[in-house]
Amino acid sequence: MPRDEKLEHLKRVPLFARMGHRELERLGQLADEIEVGLDQVLTEQGRIGHEFFFVIDGHLVVLDGNRPIANLGPGDFFGEIALIYENARRTATVTASSPLRFFVLTRQSFRSLLEHQPEIEEKVMAALEDRLQSGS
């Protein structure tokens, strides 16, 4: 995917909305674009999370146990708690319900970014707080 298109996708993530262009560029260098097929499990409830996902194309189902609780599609994201908190357990299982294309950012890459640009952490934490307060 061209760099500018990748940055446009990342700018739409509320968690990164407060970042400047240079910060987003660095984030874009760390986020990998991945494609998977139908029924691929991306996160498993109860397991420790290590990555954040942003959906580019395709659809997913979010399960609490065996019960579907949400559907996700292009522009949606999940796994943000894994970026912030070490050893945080996944609260749901997320499975591809169609072929899927997404960005993935590992906690390790994100922490490395924060070591070099600590001002990003404040911006992400403020966005996360807004998200938690709004209940989205």
Q: What is the pTM of this model?
A: 0.84
- The enclosing domain of 106 has a CATH number of 2.60.120.10
**Is 109 in contact with 50 (CB distance < 8 Å)?**
no
Residue 136 lies in a domain: no
User: What is the C-alpha to C-alpha distance for residues 22 and 77, in angstroms, rounded to an integer?
Assistant: 22
From 24, 14, 52, 19, select the one nearest 134 (Cα to Cα).
Answer: 14
Distances (CA, A) of 79 to 45, 55, 89, 94: 11, 11, 10, 10
pLDDT digits over 1-45, tens only?
A: 777 888 888 888 887 878 888 888 888 899 999 999 999 999 999
Tell me the residue type at 61.
Answer: V
Number of domains in the chain: 1
Give residue 61's domain range: 3-130
For 88-116, the pLDDT digits (tens) are 999 999 999 999 999 999 999 988 888 88
Residue 72 counted as domain residue: yes
Q: Is residue 41 part of a domain?
A: yes
Let me know if residue 135 belongs to a domain. no
- The answer to whether 94 and 42 are in contact (CB under 8 A) is yes
Assess if residue 96 is contained within a domain: yes
Q: Which residue has the tokens 């522009």?
A: 75
